[in-house]
Amino acid sequence: MSQQSNSKFFQGEAWACFFLRMWIGMRLMFAGLTKFYVKNEEGGWSFDPENAKYVMSNITSTMETNTAIPQFMLNQYSAVLPWALLIVGASVMFGFFTRISLFLAGALVLSLSFGLMLLPDDTAAVERGVEIIVVGLALMTVKHNVGAVDNLIAMAFSKDEEEEA
């Protein structure tokens, strides 16, 4: 089993999945972190959930002014989005429930695309389209996924079964 795992580790598809997962995870996580981090008086950065509310209120007001999306929907979305970006991004990077995490990443990017497509200048929606393609590629390569927590857990349990046989 270890020789099979090692040979799978060195396949191009495994590295493709790894790099795609890392990029998607970092993209989502950093997009979430930028909503929370604020520069403090000492010149450093601090994590502040109130800053996320401020940043998201600016985005919500732009969406409210330029789209027909109701305010109550925008408010709910803006409360959840920064946390969802952080959690899903970390989950994709570390490989927790990789397929589900990648699906959720795609759903997040698609939801962002929906709002951006309604704006008069929707060029950012095209960028989200590229991100959807990247998520699709990651989902296509996920069967070759290595270096993920999912696989480490699977390897731990498969060894136990192998030793019992």
Cα angle at 106 between 60 and 150, to 5 degrees?
125
Q: Is residue 96 part of a domain?
A: yes
As a whole number of angstroms, the distance between CA 108 and CA 89 comes to 10
Phi, psi of 22 (to 5 degrees): -65, -45
Residues 112, 51 contacting (CB under 8 angstroms)? no
Encoding tokens for residue 62? 């732009």
- Decide if 10 is inside a domain: no
Q: Tens place of pLDDT for every residue, the chain, 165 residues? A: 444 555 666 678 888 999 999 999 999 999 999 999 988 888 888 888 999 999 999 999 989 998 889 999 999 999 999 999 999 999 999 999 999 999 999 999 999 999 889 888 778 889 999 999 999 999 999 988 887 888 778 777 875 544 555
Answer for the pair 29, 89: CB distance below 8 angstroms, yes or no.
yes
Amino acid 1: pLDDT: 44
Question: Domain span at residue 30?
Answer: 25-164
Evaluate whether residue 11 is within a structural domain: no
- Count the neighbouring beta carbons within 10 Å of the beta carbon of residue 26: 14
Give a yes or no: residue 47 inside a domain.
yes
Which pLDDT does position 10 carry in this prediction?
66
Nearest partner of 31 among 114, 92, 103, judged by Cα:
92
Residue 18 falls inside a structural domain: no
In a domain, 5, yes or no: no
Contacts (Cβ under 8 Å, ≥6 apart) of 106: 132, 135, 136, 139
**Residue 159 belongs to what H/E stretch?**
helix 149-164
Residue 6: inside a domain, yes or no? no
* Max intra-chain CA distance, the chain: 65
Q: How many domains does the chain have?
A: 1
Cα 74 from Cα 59, distance rounded (Å): 9
- pTM, entire model: 0.83
Q: Quick check: is 9 in a domain?
A: no
